Structure 1
Amino acid sequence: MVSVVPLRGVIIFLCLLHLCVQGVQDVNTVCLAQMTQYFYDNVQPKTKQGTDAQYALSIYVPPAHCVDKHAKIKNVFDKEDATLVKMLLNRGDKCELCTELKNVIASRPDMKTSEHSEHVLLYPVGNSLMDKLLAKARDQSCVVFYSYNSPCVTTCLQSADNILEGLRNWINKRKIEGQMNAFVFQEIWDKDKDLQTEFKKIDEIVPLYRCRRNRNVMQCKKCVNNNVVDPFCLPKKK
């Protein structure tokens, strides 16, 4: 006698199989909050006026650091290395896999060419600092791309120098089951408009998150859910 599997069970199985094949796994926002707070406390460069400066940083870490809130980022990016990255950024230099584990790249905007920090890390496609970082990353890893400010609309997302191709290059190189990726920003570039449309463009390529301090506590949320942008990721209504 041939056993019959209920249709509902088949559908559920196929859906789960699809998720496994795609390697879909969300990054834990508590982990991102801890990571972002660590960056802010130990890496954040300053302007000559002493205010927080724009910079971008990317790091690859073991998967546990993106799902287990008890994993400590300092174990894979210690304070000595973080101090080195901060020193390089404060003097206008880049971190080109400059840490002991060769798992971090970072840059401020290029003052000579006006190239934005995100673009500095992602281009030229095929020979960028991001390409070099991904070549070092293990198959089972989590890659986090952090920008202090949200990518500006006019240059980072709409101009000929936009970062979207660089983001696609990143994700296309990581189409292996179990790999996690996150694009995280902290502050909103206050001159931008129509962020809902532009943030969706990023999230279509790589999951977009915002981490921001609220009463000195870092909180993170995924920016786009069911094609709707969470107000947490948008400027406060005046």
Structure 2
Amino acid sequence: MKFTVFLSGLLLLFLLSDWTESVEDDTVDINTLARIINFFEQNYKRVDKDGHPRQYAIAINVPKHQCQQNFFPAQNNFLPQEKVENVKNAINDETNALYQGSELIAAGTRKVVINKKKQYNMHSESLLLNPVGNSPMTKLLDESKDSCSVFYTFDSPCVDTCLDATGSHSIIEALKNWKEHDGIKAFVFKNFWKFDEKDTKKDLQAEFKQIVAHVPLFRCVSENECYACKGEGNTPIDEHCLPPKEI
């Protein structure tokens, strides 16, 4: 009897260890994620002539180990084929605002002129994720099937365009496609879109759950400060991923 119990215990320990490793294999290490986002900010961040930051988004598809514990991204070991100046020049050109590489894609905002009196800026998230099924993101994910894919947007996706499931520039269908990709996934933002204006007045708890329904959501605000937003099922979005409550 004791021998049987002992064997059962060993089997349980083995299965638990195997399950734990499996979970870790498909989960980004949050400290490594913070370093990756900091690498983006140090190398590709858009700023205007006065030094003010401007919206941009980046997605990568890299080997899994580069999103796991104890990886420190640097110029000599991370995205070596993507030349910084090429990326920056491409995303700052508002007539196209798009860079497509083998491990990295990036976008600024594209100026679309309808006529002399009407024009708008196509958002960077939509530029990378649309059209669904034939987007820069689709092509990037096709480069490697079981890897680590991270999508980073400087400002959170806007409610009226990117998170409007019925809109022509919605990213929701693209996130559904991304969900089917194997490997580690992380959708990350830093700031809130138009913090002092309409987006933060809306129910971002419900809006961000549209993202979480398909891929894990994170907010990274510095090299040492990154949060898992949670929000799966009935779990609420973590308060660090929501605008501060008005007093």
- Structure 2 residue aligned with 1:84, among 86, 104, 112? 86
Q: Are 2:170 and 1:166 equivalent residues in the alignment?
A: no
Equivalent residue for 2:117? Answer: none
When residues 17 and 70 of structure 1 are mapped into structure 2, their CA distance, relative to the original with a 3 A threshold, is closer
Q: Deviations over 1:83-134 (max 9, x none)?
A: 321122122331111xxxx111111122115321111111111211011101
Equivalent residue for 1:203? Answer: 212
Equivalent residue for 1:111? Answer: 111
The secondary structure found in structure 1 opposite 2:86 is helix
- RMSD of Structure 2 on Structure 1 (CA): 3.0
The secondary structure found in structure 1 opposite 2:150 is strand
CA contact (8 A) 2:35 2:72 kept: no
CA contact (8 A) 2:58 2:153 kept: yes
Percentage of pairs with the same residue:
37
Q: State the number of aligned residues.
A: 224
Give runs of aligned pairs for residues 1-150 of structure 1, distance below 5 A. Answer: 20=22, 25-74=26-75, 75-78=77-80, 81-92=83-94, 93-97=97-101, 102-112=102-112, 114-137=121-144, 139-150=145-156
Q: Deviations over 1:14-65 (max 9, x none)?
A: 9x76995x99732111111101111111100113443111111101111111
CA contact (8 A) 1:57 1:146 kept: yes
Higher-RCO chain (CA-CA 8 Å, sequence separation at least 6): 1
Q: Which amino acid aligns with 2:26?
A: Q
**Unmatched runs of 5 consecutive residues or more in structure 2:** 113-119
Q: Which amino acid aligns with 2:126?
A: H
CA distance in 2, matches of 1:51, 1:231: 27
Equivalent residue for 1:186? Answer: 190
**Unmatched runs of 5 consecutive residues or more in structure 1:** none
CA contact (8 A) 1:209 1:222 kept: yes
Higher Rg of the two aligned structures: 2
The secondary structure found in structure 2 opposite 1:224 is coil
CA distance in 2, matches of 1:194, 1:24: 33
Report the TM-score when normalising by structure 2: 0.79
CA contact (8 A) 2:189 2:218 kept: yes
CA contact (8 A) 2:57 2:151 kept: yes
Equivalent residue for 1:154? Answer: 160
Q: Which amino acid aligns with 1:209?
A: F
CA distance in 2, matches of 1:36, 1:18: 26
Q: Which amino acid aligns with 1:196?
A: Q
When residues 46 and 81 of structure 1 are mapped into structure 2, their CA distance, relative to the original with a 3 A threshold, is same
